[in-house]
Amino acid sequence: MPALLSIEGVGLSRGGNEILAGVDLAIEPGEIHSVLGRNGTGKTSLACLVMGLSGYELTRGRILFDGKDIAGLSISDRARAGITLAWQEPPRFEGVSVFDYLSLSADGKPDRLDPREALGLVGMEPDLYLNRMLDEGLSGGERKRIELASVLAMRPRLAMLDEPDSGIDSLSIDTIDRVIRTIVKRGAAVLLITHRENLAEIADRASAMCGGRILKTGQPDEIGRFFRNHCEACAHINAPEGNGYRVVDALAFRGPNPAPSGEGGLGK
Amino acid sequence: MTQTLDYAQELDAIARAYAASGGDPSDFHADRGGLLVVSGNRALLGRGAEGLTIESEQLSDGVRARIVAHSGAIIAEPVHLCFGMVPVRGVQRILAEFVIEEGASVRFLAHCTFPNAVEIRHIMEGTVEVGENARMEYEETHYHGETAGIETLPKMRVRVAPRGLYRSTFKLVKGAAGVVDLDYDVTVAEEGIAELYAKIYGKGDDRVKVRESINLEGRGSRGLAKSRIVVTDRASAEVLGEIVGAGPGSRGHVDCMEIIKGGKAQAVAVPLLRVVEESAKLTHEAAIGSVDKRQMETLMARGLSESEAVDVIVRGLLR
């Protein structure tokens, strides 16, 4: 089956620093794929690059969505093609009600999800929230759930969820799991960005990321072990060659495990 | 030649103008709630309500009004005020005195409407006395038509007695603004509260000046001066948010956000905090610039175009 999203040898620099140093990653239709890595390893930058946010321009490689190069597409065009991103820290909109926010997410789509239903799917009581303003008295966790609901309402083909569990109490991992499965059930793929191994394990496949590269892709439990052994105690933070570290140094840090091989590999 | 409208025609014209500014003309004929409708220098309708007295007097260029919410009166229905002019030219001066006696509570919904303004000067000089434990909310919505031929000069002097509350919202977000020079000054006594909100959208050659000043005199008094201004084309805006912390334990905050939407628009924000009592604490935040990029990109990531995203953000700010 052709990949829905194909990231091929992608590089990204910002402010003179190389953030992504040749990322290769493929997401299949309907797949839940988690990208697991410590903070600062380039996971969010990768999602921002795919979404086409300003300040995130390819320095090399290409990104294909549905087989088409999306380099020239604006954020809006990418969204209309079916790509969306749920931010780790959703912005606060003044004077916009929850209902309006969820409605505009779905605006114009014939198969739109009703805001009431979208809220219900993230475990929020619609009658308590639909008329509330996004900038008034909502906790970080509530805003995060609303962000997930807006992704649901949009019915994307690829939903990138950046640290969806941050700011949400631990009991709600189940909620995130349910939301992700709902998105998938409606025909979309999910790119799940996280630094938590237990969250990464709800995926079909996972990739470990460090130093702006995908180090290894495989089954979530396998990648989880890899992350435990190689990444958790590693001091290496997003610093590709030239900044005093090499990715291979990070892998050597713990010693006993052999350097990984296979998809993603050790970088170039 | 000056055309003179008879009472019914004028009432009908001002009712249409009231509707243009977002009011519901059926308010004029409802059988409950206080009401004052002024067209030019004529008070066309006026009625009090239980616990509320409204008196008006004609002036050569406007109307003097005295509105009293009597001691202990909790006035459930909002009091509707309409100040407007149908002609294209003229001056309207409103001298308004609001007295909210001890323990009273009242909410005013004021519409100032000048749908045909070509050369109009609208002057509002108001004094407000909010008594002990009393509460007054005043929401003023303006509509000036599309030609910007108006100068609007609202000036309010407010005193809030111990444990009283005064909350005002000045809103001019539809149509042209013209020249606006808003000047509000509030003095707050012990444990009293003052909240001032201004929301204005300036376009074309509009010039907007906002001064919101709160003097926190009393112990434990609280004040908030919040403004949301959007300017585009060649419009300009200048906002002064001023708070004085004079009362022990008083707390105040100035929050000013001005968005410049392209063109040659200009904006100035001056938060001015003065503390003359060591236990007072004042804070401010002021932001001027284009629409927040992060907000815009979030909306675009849901499929909105850039201009649609800006529109959602601006409408929200001015809501």
The enclosing domain of A226 has a CATH number of: 3.40.50.300
Residues A185 and A262 in one domain: yes
From chain A, pick out residues whose CB is under 8 angstroms from the CB of B318: 95
pLDDT of residue B28: 85
> Model-level pTM?
0.82
DSSP per-residue letters across A11-27: EEEETTEEEEEEEEEEE
Nearest CA in chain B to A102: B302
d(CA A47, CA A32): 15
* Whether residue A147 is found in the same domain as residue A32: no
Residues A74 and A89 in one domain: no
Same domain, A127 and A77: no
| Residue whose token pair is 């149908």 | B86
CB contact under 8 A, B303 and A80: yes
Rounded Cα distance between B303 and B126, Å, is 47
Q: Are both A131 and A11 inside the same structural domain?
A: no
- Which of A105, A138, A155 is the C-terminal boundary of a domain? A155
Tens digit of pLDDT at every position of chain A (268 positions): 689 999 999 999 988 889 999 999 999 999 999 999 988 899 999 999 999 999 999 999 999 999 999 999 999 999 999 999 999 888 889 999 999 999 987 666 666 788 999 999 888 999 999 999 998 888 888 888 899 999 999 889 999 999 988 766 654 677 788 889 988 998 899 999 998 888 888 899 999 999 899 999 999 999 998 888 877 666 655 444 444 444 444 444 333 333 333 333 222 2
Rounded CA gap, A17 and B2, in Å?
73
Look at residue A185 and tell me if it is in a domain.
yes
Q: How far is CA B223 from the centre of its chain?
A: 16
* Same domain membership, residue A259 and residue A199: yes
Say whether A104 and B302 touch across the interface (CB within 8 A).
yes
Q: How many domains does chain A have?
A: 2
Residue of B nearest to A152 (CA): B302
Does the distance separating the beta carbons of A154 and B302 come in below 8 Å?
A: yes
User: Is residue A170 included in any domain, yes or no?
Assistant: no
DSSP category for residue B25: T
The partner residue sitting opposite B295, judged by closest CB among A78, A84, A91, is: A91
Nearest residue on chain B to A82, alpha-carbon basis:
B303
A84: distance to nearest CA of chain B, Å?
5
ipTM: 0.86
Residues of A in contact with B317 (CB under 8 A): 94-95
Query: Which structural domain, as residue segments, surrounds residue A211?
Result: 1-81+180-268
**CB contact residues (below 8 A), chain B span 193-232, against chain A:** 228
Does one domain contain both A196 and A264? yes
b vs e for B264-295, b when ≥16 Cβ sit within 10 Å of the residue's Cβ?
Answer: ebbbebebebebebeebebebebebeebbeeb
Residue closest to A156 by CA, chosen among B302, B300, B308, B296: B302
Query: Residue A185: how many CB atoms within 10 A of its CB?
Result: 9
Instruction: Mark yes or no for CB contact A94/B298 under 8 Å.
Output: no
Q: Which of A50, A56, A75, A85 to mutate to test the interface with B (most CBs of B within 10 A)?
A: A75
In a domain, A211, yes or no: yes
Domain match, A197 and A268 both: yes
Distance between CA atoms of A27 and A191, rounded to whole angstroms? 8
Nearest CB among B292, B303, B319 relative to A76 is that of: B303
> Residue B299: its chain A contacts at CB < 8 A?
104
Shortest distance, CA A132 to any CA of chain B (angstroms): 13
Kindly determine whether residue B302 and residue A93, on different chains, have CB atoms separated by under 8 Å. Answer: no
Residue A45 is assigned to a structural domain of this protein: yes
Helix (H, G, I), strand (E, B) or coil at A136: coil
- Cβ separation of A104 and B312 shorter than 8 Å? yes
Min Cα distance A155 → chain B (Å) is: 10
Q: Is A56 on the interface with B (CB under 8 A)?
A: no
Q: Quick count: other Cβ atoms within 10 Å of Cβ B228?
A: 24
Q: Which residues contact A234 (CB under 8 A, 6 or more apart)?
A: A38, A210, A250, A253, A254
Q: Residue A70 has what pLDDT?
A: 96
Please answer yes or no on whether B302 and A53 come within 8 Å at the CB atom.
no
Q: Is B312 in the A-facing interface, judged by CB distances under 8 Å?
A: yes
Tell me if A95 and B302 make a contact (CB, 8 A cut-off): no
- C-alpha angle A256/A44/A81, rounded to 5°? 130
What tens-digit pLDDT sequence spans chain B (319 residues)?
344 568 888 888 888 888 888 888 888 887 778 999 999 999 999 999 999 999 999 999 999 999 999 999 999 999 999 999 988 999 999 999 999 999 999 999 999 999 888 999 999 999 999 999 999 999 999 999 888 899 999 999 999 999 999 999 999 999 999 999 999 999 999 999 999 999 999 999 999 999 999 999 999 999 999 999 999 999 999 999 999 999 999 999 999 999 998 779 999 999 999 999 999 999 999 999 889 999 999 999 999 999 999 999 999 999 8
The answer to whether position A18 is within a domain reads: yes
Last residue of a domain, one of A155, A188, A206: A155
pLDDT, tens only, A202-237: 899 999 999 899 999 999 999 998 888 877 666 655
User: Which residue of B302, B308, B313, B319 to mutate against A (max A Cβ within 10 Å)?
Assistant: B302
Contact (CB<8Å) A94/B319: yes
Burial of B167 (0-12, 13-18, 19+ CB in 10 A): middle
Q: Are residues A76 and A185 in the same domain?
A: yes
In a domain, A77, yes or no: yes
Dihedral of the alpha carbons of B256, B257, B263, B268, in degrees to the nearest 10: 20
The pLDDT of residue A132: 95
Count of CB atoms situated within 10 Å of the CB of B91: 16
* Option in A51, A96, A154 nearest B312 (CB): A96
